[in-house]
Amino acid sequence: MTAQAEIAAGYALEGTAIELGAVLVDATVEPTAHVRIPLSMINRHGLVAGATGTGKTKTLQLIAEQLSNAGVPVLMADVKGDLSGLSQQGASSDRITTRAGETGDDWQATAFPVQFLSIGTGGIGVPLRATITSFGPILLSKVLGLNDTQESTLGLIFHWADSRGLPLLDTKDLRAVITHLTSDEGKEDLKGIGGVASATAGVILRALVNLEAQGGDRFFGEPELDPNDLMRNKDGKGLISLLEIGDLQSNPALFSTFLMWLLAELFETLPEEGDLDKPKLVFFFDEAHLVFADASKAFLEKITQTVKLIRSKGVGIFFCTQLPTDVPNEVLSQLGARVQHALRAFTPDDQKALARTVKTYPTTPHYDLEKALTSLGIGEAVITVLSEKGAPTPVAWTRLRAPRSLMDTIGTDAIKQAAASSDLNGKYGETVDRESAYEQLMQKVAPPRQEGEAPPQEQPKPEKDEPGLVEKVLGNSAVKSFLRSAGSALAREITRGIFGTSRKRR
């Protein structure tokens, strides 16, 4: 048995699989030695890593196409706009024909169903929003760059607003609540549960102003995204949602944290499913290092917990970044599929990262991994995944298949046109600004009536017939008190989930 065949035997599967490519040993590719990921193992998560220009984006495109064909919806963070070609058929060429022959692929140009989305109203896709209340204090602290003390204070502010039933829909609502809690009246409201120091409040307010200047005010608000709109099929194929960063280039942390909010929403709302034949939804986190950079201890703990538990809800996560060391060990250990493109070892730090990466792979008699990882060509990767039995597969130097959709952008005008004709545009296209904490607090500090100003006219009371039994019961003062208390509790009771995101009780 050849080395290629020996490695390929570890990827022999009975069920449906995502085909990645063919095994390469000693510069020889064997088209019949296939490397694949079992579809049932996709929700055990994965990592796609490699230096710039080594083919990571094309690998994401290749995997997303096959997930869509299997009826699995996909959400992809399209930071650079390179993935819009998924919506159009690819163009055949000599290079693609050669690659298809090398990898045993019956390549056919194919387009896939795509919906183009943007964070906030400043992008070219359908605008997506989240409310401040729903985002919660932990995720918002990550976006604002707060330290642990400031995050704790923000948690107190959210707790007070939750208990008072004050909707925090956008940034002006949060500013109004902070301003109120640092006033004399607000300090009285917080007696017994702590207080908001003026200096800390000032830091949070300045961070909010900076966030608004970077476009954050166009993201927070309503209508809020319903995650179910990402879990749809079209013509039997899973819908691919491409989420672009729009005018939030100066705040990529908001982009990555929004994806964590989405994961938290799915975690809180989806039922436990156990092991499925295929996932319900697959997330691709491009530029994954942004998720973990400068993250608080609480934030990292919640990410790790989410990654561990959300697979049982039928959701798979693929992190995409340059170095595996960008991902904390606690999270890295949860990623069953590893697709490692070429690494560079130009500096001492690069060499340390390379050595650490090699140690995370199973031992192999066929490759010198340290040499292999720096010798991979464009469109090649060192791969190991979980077999259908949950065991790591042999390490395989793999020549990857070519995507069947267009490996290029389709252009801004085409994306705008597709977004305008999307069925989601009618749902999310227009911003809604209903009464919330800002308006309610402003009513409390309305200016007093001027001297000589006539008081509001009291409306005449209508004549009433003799009350019946129900009216007498409802008119009882004890019953009225009970109903007021129950109504207030129902109106303002907000429970918070794994990331402190809101879960309103129905």
pLDDT band at 495 (very low <50, low <70, confident <90, very high): low
99 plus 142 within the same structural domain: no
pLDDT of residue 459: 45
The reply to whether 471 falls in a domain is no
The CATH number of whichever domain residue 55 belongs to comes to 3.40.50.300
Q: Count the domains in the chain.
A: 2
162 plus 13 within the same structural domain: no
The reply to whether 454 falls in a domain is no
- Is pLDDT of 310 > 70? yes
38 plus 120 within the same structural domain: yes
- Is pLDDT of 301 > 80? yes
- Is pLDDT of 496 > 80? no
Residues 6+ apart with CB under 8 A from 420: none
333 plus 279 within the same structural domain: yes
pLDDT > 70 in the chain, percent: 86
- Is pLDDT of 340 > 60? yes
The domain boundary, picked from 218, 248, 266, lies at 218
102 plus 169 within the same structural domain: no
Residues 6+ apart with CB under 8 A from 448: none
The reply to whether 286 falls in a domain is yes
The reply to whether 235 falls in a domain is yes
352 plus 421 within the same structural domain: yes
183 plus 238 within the same structural domain: no
367 plus 229 within the same structural domain: yes
Task: For residue 384, give both structure tokens.
Answer: 């190991």
Q: What would the pLDDT profile of 210-233 be if each residue is shown by its tens digit? A: 888 887 888 899 999 999 999 999
The reply to whether 75 falls in a domain is yes
User: What distances in angstroms separate CA 211 from CA 177, 217, 456, one per listed residue?
Assistant: 17, 7, 41
231 plus 192 within the same structural domain: no
The domain boundary, picked from 387, 406, 428, lies at 428
Poorest-pLDDT segment among 47-61, 187-201, 471-485:
471-485
Domain that residue 150 falls in: 132-218
What order do you get walking across the sheet with 396-400 strand by strand?
28-38, 17-25, 396-400, 380-384, 337-340, 46-49, 315-321, 281-285, 74-77, 240-244, 114-119, 126-128
pLDDT band at 502 (very low <50, low <70, confident <90, very high): low
Q: What would the pLDDT profile of 354-371 be if each residue is shown by its tens digit? A: 999 999 899 999 999 999
- Is pLDDT of 180 > 70? yes
CA 362, CA 502: separation in Å to the nearest integer? 41
Q: What's the predicted TM-score (pTM) here?
A: 0.85
The reply to whether 446 falls in a domain is no
CA 190, CA 201: separation in Å to the nearest integer? 14
Amino acid at 93: S
Q: What would the pLDDT profile of 239-262 be if each residue is shown by its tens digit? A: 999 998 766 666 777 777 888 888
Q: What would the pLDDT profile of 183-197 be if each residue is shown by its tens digit? A: 888 787 776 667 788
pLDDT of residue 474: 40
Contact indicator for 381, 339 with CB cutoff of 8 Å: yes
pLDDT of residue 186: 77
pLDDT of residue 296: 74
Q: What would the pLDDT profile of 419-449 be if each residue is shown by its tens digit? A: 999 999 999 999 998 888 889 888 865 444 4
283 plus 415 within the same structural domain: yes
C-alpha torsion 420→424→427→432, nearest 10: -70
The domain boundary, picked from 218, 250, 277, lies at 218
